Amino acid sequence: MLTADVAALDKLLAEEMTWVHASSRRDTRDTFIRGIGDKSLQPFRLDHSEVEIKIYETVAVVTGVVAMEVAINGERATRDNRFTAIWVGDAGKARLVLWQSTSLPPTAAAPDPRRSPPG
């Protein structure tokens, strides 16, 4: 995604893939690939953490947190989202069928050094 390699995305995303953004906007496989290709959805940084993978026969459920820097229709933003991704084995290849993300609340502000600690 960072290199806008739509040919690689075409191979990784299932035909029936749904991508639900933290904003609740939904993309189909075709609209997602088109957005990456025309740079209306342009990721610059995707840092994954807290990743857990659970395998159920031919299905993998992946959860975690992604810290990202993206531009949506040219407007650059930094986001922290919790995500669930579902991958399904298809003819020996894993394909993404669902991505669902939820915005994480902003982290607590750093303490004001002018205030003395309690106690």
Is the CA virtual torsion 46, 83, 88, 32 positive or negative? negative
How confident is the prediction for the chain on average, in pLDDT?
Answer: 87
∠ CA 72-48-71, nearest 5°, is: 10
Residues 6+ apart with CB under 8 A from 106: none
Q: Give residue 110's pLDDT.
A: 45
Q: Give residue 65's pLDDT.
A: 95
Domains of the chain as residue ranges with CATH: 6-103 (3.10.450.50)
- Bridge partner residues of 48 (DSSP): 66
Residues 6+ apart with CB under 8 A from 67: 45, 46, 47, 49, 78, 79, 80
Q: Give residue 91's pLDDT.
A: 81
Query: Nearest Cα to 63, choosing from 78, 54, 75, 52?
Result: 52
Mean pLDDT computed over 24-46: 91
DSSP letter, residue 24:
S
Q: What does the DSSP assignment read for 91-111?
A: TTEEEEEEEEEEEPPPPPPPP
Mean pLDDT computed over 31-49: 90
- Bridge partner residues of 110 (DSSP): none
Examine the pLDDT at 112 and tell me if it is beyond 60. no
